[in-house]
Structure 1
Amino acid sequence: MEWPKRARTADWGNGVLTLDGDKQFDIPELTIEIMERLAGYTLVGFHVKDYPVTDEMLIPFTAHKNMVNFGVEDGALTDTCFPVFSAMPKLRYLLLDGNAGINGNGLSTLQECKIDLLTLNRTGLNDAGLMQAASIPKLSHIQIDHTAVTYEGLLAIAGNNRIEPVTHVQFTKEQMENFSQLQREKAKKPTPLDEQAAEDCRKVLSAFFEEMTEWEQYMEQAGFEDTEAVPRLLAIWEKYVSEKPRAGYRPLGLSYSAQGTYKGEQFLDAEQITKNKLYIYTREKNTGFDRRFLMKRVNESWMIDAVQERLDGWQRTGL
């Protein structure tokens, strides 16, 4: 075969190597020579599925400078593979599902990495390995279904409020909600919660959610050109929001969700920040999407001063 001079992505599956999504080559087996050739490209993405890739076969990729997304699924990797990834400066997504030889004891080598997502479903990951994963500073999501991780091992990493373990069958929904609650408890500052203030804030948010849902339903029928669109929204803001309007977000930038931005919001928890500020935590019941609203006492009333969404940690967004 004639190798192309350049390639940015490489995917191998079922005996076919695909470069850049459209250049396909019949390669029944992956050899060290082929891996060396691929490692010579300025790849940003590499993925192999259902092939017994070994730790030794990955050595040519050590300290690859451009790699962002790397995956070997259902291979023959062990924890010896992790030093290969430790010096990849741009690596963000590491997909290692189905490598039964990985138990996590080598994850400590990734301490300096900037990995956001690590998938270890169907591996031998155990409690000690999960603890090592939780110490990777930038890691925000780790998938751990069909592993040896116990619920006690999961609870042991609750002190890391940045990480979000993703599991659909390993633990029950109730267990995961309890874990999230424990994370929030451990992250709280030791300021006693004013229960009456929290209840007042929930009432304000409930009213805001209801009026925003009504406004979005109105917008679905009337459209952006309707002369009442902006006045109706500004009236809601004046009643409930103390946050200074920001460019690109409501009410300066008009947008709406046909499903209702806050239609399925459920209250989870409250956290006192100061006497006049607290967080109210919510979760969207259908998607599991987490938000927290910063509530501020203005004169004698509580108003919404900011909202954050849990993506890569808590990040400020718009109402």
Structure 2
Amino acid sequence: MARARRQPVYFGTGGFSGFLLLQIGKTGLKWCHEAIKMKWEGERTHMEKKVPDWQTFIRCNGGHLIIRHLKSGLAENLEIPWPAKLKGIECEKVRFRAEDLRSLAGHMQTLDTVELKECEIGEGALSVLSGAGSLRYLSFKNCGISDADLAWFHGTPKLRGLVLAGNPGCTDAVVARAVGSPLENLNLQGTCFRNVDVPLLLSFPQLEYLNLSDTEVTGAALVQLAVNRRLNVICGHDREGVSMFRAAQRDSWKKRLSYDAGPAGEAMESVRHFFEISRDGRLNRSGLVTERYLEYCRAHGYNGVDPGQKVSFCDSSVPPYQGYRVVDVEQITRKKFYVYSECDDMVLSQYRCLVIQTEGGWKIDKNEWLTDGKWKFRSLE
């Protein structure tokens, strides 16, 4: 029987700019090595060409202008391609003189976003924004500005976000000028905001996120803001103070502050036990949940709470309820309690379980989380 002739085999590699065919045969390996070597020598010559010293990225995307300086120092004396209809400007590490921003005067009717980060702003340069009555978001992060640089600022009817982070020269005076604006996000991290200034924040009933980290504000003052049920506070230097704020906020929701210590303790312990076995990940939990609640979950796309069952639309390999702790309780009836817990995240997010006493013991009958100032359904993780 005649022996079949061995055919060469070809492989492709895209490791270089071209596409190189490699022949594997009796002498193929040597040929491949030489071919790769020659190809590499040619590519190396091309690669050793000097790359331009590119420092500043400027992009005009529709009505949004983005300028970012990518190296040390600050970009300056730039030829800025202002769009015909400017809606937003985002700049990082740029030095602005008053004359650099004069062109903004022609866009006061359309400009709604100004975001400057680590920029150096010349005296009077920002005053051109005084006519921007449509501003929705105004941010000066680590720009070294003070109250004097924002003397022109008086808020706007549409202003939702104000960021003064990293500017220790800014005080409550700037915030006071924003009164009347529908602020939802206020970042005062690293400013000269103090406890005595906190009542001013009650002037913004729509406020949802407040950052007071690295200021002189403490938890004793934050409690005054608890009447705002939708408010989330970040205060990294006083986590206990944020916890005090959350406790006062919970009390404002409760219909009844007193409770029977015995059954309340049992209800709280049942939720702690649920968290504990949930972190284990190997134990069944359905015995700690009412059948009525399980049926409700199934009707909303959640199949179960035991291992191997789909718990939510996005199951995670991370054990659930990490950093959760039971913190409070509210008595509804003799056999029904809300058990509150909070997660150890930036804002101490709030959750609550409705726990009822059944013949089989205390069981979870509902689970909710606080969002937008309202308690909303949440699946058990």
Normalised TM-score (structure 2):
0.61
Deviations 1:10-59 (A, max 9, x none): 456633779999x9999742434133356565555633433236562321
Distance change >3 Å, CA 277–CA 188, structure 1 → 2: same
Aligned ranges for residues 272-287 of structure 1 at < 5 Å?
A: 272-285=331-344
Distance change >3 Å, CA 254–CA 174, structure 1 → 2: closer
Distance change >3 Å, CA 234–CA 273, structure 1 → 2: closer
For 1:238 and 1:200, how far apart are their aligned partners in 2?
Answer: 16
For 1:132 and 1:122, how far apart are their aligned partners in 2?
Answer: 18
Q: What's the secondary structure of 2:296's corresponding residue? A: coil
1:6 aligned residue (39, 52, 62): 62
Are 2:171 and 1:103 aligned?
A: yes
Q: What's the secondary structure of 1:306's corresponding residue? A: strand
Residue 134 of structure 1 contacts residue 163 of structure 1 at CA under 8 Å; is this kept in 2? Answer: no
User: Where does residue 189 of structure 1 map in the other structure?
Assistant: 255
User: Where does residue 300 of structure 2 map in the other structure?
Assistant: 247
For 2:179 and 2:294, how far apart are their aligned partners in 1?
Answer: 40
Identical-pair percentage:
19
Q: What's the secondary structure of 2:121's corresponding residue? A: coil
With 101-110 and 259-268 compared, the bigger mean Cα shift is at: 101-110
Q: What's the secondary structure of 1:86's corresponding residue? A: coil
Code of the aligned partner of 2:138: F
For 1:244 and 1:274, how far apart are their aligned partners in 2?
Answer: 22
Residue 6 of structure 1 contacts residue 41 of structure 1 at CA under 8 Å; is this kept in 2? Answer: no
Code of the aligned partner of 2:254: K
Residue 243 of structure 2 contacts residue 348 of structure 2 at CA under 8 Å; is this kept in 1? Answer: no
Distance change >3 Å, CA 26–CA 168, structure 1 → 2: closer
Are 2:367 and 1:303 aligned?
A: no
Distance change >3 Å, CA 25–CA 237, structure 1 → 2: closer
Are 2:372 and 1:294 aligned?
A: no
User: Where does residue 117 of structure 1 map in the other structure?
Assistant: 185
User: Where does residue 96 of structure 2 map in the other structure?
Assistant: 29
Unaligned runs of 5+ residues in structure 1 are 219-231
Q: How many Å apart are 1:72 and its aligned residue?
A: 1.1
Residue 71 of structure 1 contacts residue 96 of structure 1 at CA under 8 Å; is this kept in 2? Answer: yes
Residue 269 of structure 1 contacts residue 281 of structure 1 at CA under 8 Å; is this kept in 2? Answer: yes
User: Cα RMSD (Å) of the superposition?
Assistant: 4.2
Code of the aligned partner of 2:339: I
User: Where does residue 35 of structure 2 map in the other structure?
Assistant: none
For 2:344 and 2:202, how far apart are their aligned partners in 1?
Answer: 27
For 1:167 and 1:106, how far apart are their aligned partners in 2?
Answer: 20
User: Where does residue 209 of structure 1 map in the other structure?
Assistant: 275
For 1:201 and 1:44, how far apart are their aligned partners in 2?
Answer: 49
Deviations 1:234-262 (A, max 9, x none): 67655694672252445475543222122
Q: What's the secondary structure of 1:165's corresponding residue? A: strand
1:262 aligned residue (321, 340, 343): 321
Residue 138 of structure 2 contacts residue 162 of structure 2 at CA under 8 Å; is this kept in 1? Answer: yes
Distance change >3 Å, CA 12–CA 25, structure 1 → 2: closer
Distance change >3 Å, CA 30–CA 149, structure 1 → 2: same
1:162 aligned residue (201, 211, 230): 230
For 1:303 and 1:107, how far apart are their aligned partners in 2?
Answer: 47
User: Where does residue 51 of structure 1 map in the other structure?
Assistant: 120
Q: What's the secondary structure of 2:198's corresponding residue? A: helix
Q: What's the secondary structure of 1:177's corresponding residue? A: helix
Distance change >3 Å, CA 26–CA 258, structure 1 → 2: closer
Distance change >3 Å, CA 296–CA 286, structure 1 → 2: closer
For 1:108 and 1:120, how far apart are their aligned partners in 2?
Answer: 13
Are 2:86 and 1:86 aligned?
A: no
Distance change >3 Å, CA 18–CA 167, structure 1 → 2: farther
Question: Relative CO higher for 1 or 2, CA cutoff 8 Å, sep ≥ 6?
Answer: 1
Q: How many Å apart are 1:198 and its aligned residue?
A: 2.1
For 1:141 and 1:61, how far apart are their aligned partners in 2?
Answer: 24
Q: What's the secondary structure of 1:154's corresponding residue? A: helix
Distance change >3 Å, CA 186–CA 269, structure 1 → 2: same
Are 2:217 and 1:149 aligned?
A: yes
Q: What's the secondary structure of 1:174's corresponding residue? A: helix
Q: What's the secondary structure of 2:339's corresponding residue? A: strand
Aligned ranges for residues 216-227 of structure 1 at < 5 Å?
A: none
Report the count of equivalent residues.
296
Unaligned runs of 5+ residues in structure 2 are 1-57, 305-309
For 1:26 and 1:184, how far apart are their aligned partners in 2?
Answer: 42
Distance change >3 Å, CA 312–CA 4, structure 1 → 2: same
